[in-house]
Amino acid sequence: MKHKILLVEDEADLGNVVKQYLELMDFDVDWQQNGRTALDVFEKSPNAFHILLIDVNLPGLNGFELAEHVIKLNPDVPFLFLTARGDKNDRLNGLKIGADDYVVKPFDVDELVLRIRNIIKRKQPVVSTEPAQQKVINIGTTQLFVDSLKLLTDQGEEIILTPRECDLLVLFFNNVNRVLKREEILTKVWGSNDYFVGRSLDVFISRFRKYFQHNINISIKNVYGIGFVFNVK
């Protein structure tokens, strides 16, 4: 089965080149040149695409706006941004929204294909008999419902997580009281290890500390220069 890509790029020359090359690489590509029309296509079939490639500067809806709509329709679909912008704040904004990657133009198309394949591979379900894939993970009275992206705290508070937050919590819940190196976390959860992804990790850690602030048995501690420890008494 061919992997289906929704390519949203308003530059005709670039869009045509990327579409043709991806099709040569055996992808099925739906190319849209307007953020609004791309959203219309996605709304009709929110589960049809394996990944979205979204330019930031788009007519109709900009790339960030389009991505936010996409997440509401299907929070599990991966997407990456294609953009000429090199501004750090734009990159951080894209990663905070939930982008799996951020490719700055001009880019090497072979590298883009490799990134796409790596993201799709990470997102594919893994058939495993190991207990790490359990649907509900319990730590004391705190419960993580993996399939429904729900965290139930010991205070009875129900928190709906993003898919990336859930992936990170699963990693922590399965490595209690163990030092997890930043590189290990970034590679396993984000699939890459760079400055911008590292900043996203720090944002997530801050969120988690708020989630568990009333639980005296759970804490997340920094190990300076190494990583983090998810401590449970």
CATH 1.10.10.10 residue spans of the chain: 131-232
Q: Does residue 215 come out as left (phi exceeding 0), alpha (psi in the -120 to 50 range) or beta?
A: beta
Euclidean distance between CA atoms 146 and 152, whole angstroms: 11
Please name the residue ranges forming H helices in 56-181.
63-73, 88-97, 109-123, 163-173
- On the question of pLDDT at 87 being above 70, the answer is no
- β-pairing, 136-139 with 142-145? antiparallel
Q: Average pLDDT for residues 124-150, to the nearest whole number? A: 70
Q: Does the global pTM surpass 0.85?
A: no
Residue 131 has pLDDT above 80, yes or no: no
Which residues does 192 contact at the CB level (< 8 Å), separation at least 6?
Answer: 101, 186
pLDDT digits (tens, 9 = 90+) for 162-212: 888 888 999 999 899 999 999 999 888 887 776 667 788 888 999 999 999
Residue limits of CATH 3.40.50.2300 in the chain: 4-123
Is the pLDDT at 219 greater than 60? The verdict is yes
Q: Structurally, what CATH architecture does the domain formed by 4-123 represent?
A: 3-Layer(aba) Sandwich (3.40)
Report the pLDDT value the prediction gives residue 127, as an integer from 0 to 100: 42
pLDDT digits (tens, 9 = 90+) for 27-45: 999 999 999 999 999 999 9
Q: What angle do CA 190, 28, 64 make, to 5 degrees?
A: 45
Question: Residues with Cβ < 8 Å from 29, sequence gap 6 or more?
Answer: 4, 5, 7, 19, 22, 23
Q: At what angle do helices 63-73 and 35-44 cross, to 10 degrees?
A: 10
- Select the more confidently predicted residue: 200 or 159: 159
Please spell the DSSP secondary structure of 24-88, one letter per residue. Answer: HTT-EEEEESSHHHHHHHHHH-TTS-SEEEEESS-SSS-HHHHHHHHHHH-TT--EEEEES---H
d(CA 233, CA 231): 7
Give me the pLDDT at residue 129, please. 40
Is CATH 1.10.10.10 the classification given to domain 131-232?
yes
What is the DSSP pairing of strand 101-104 with strand 28-32? unpaired
- The reported pLDDT for the residue numbered 206 is 92
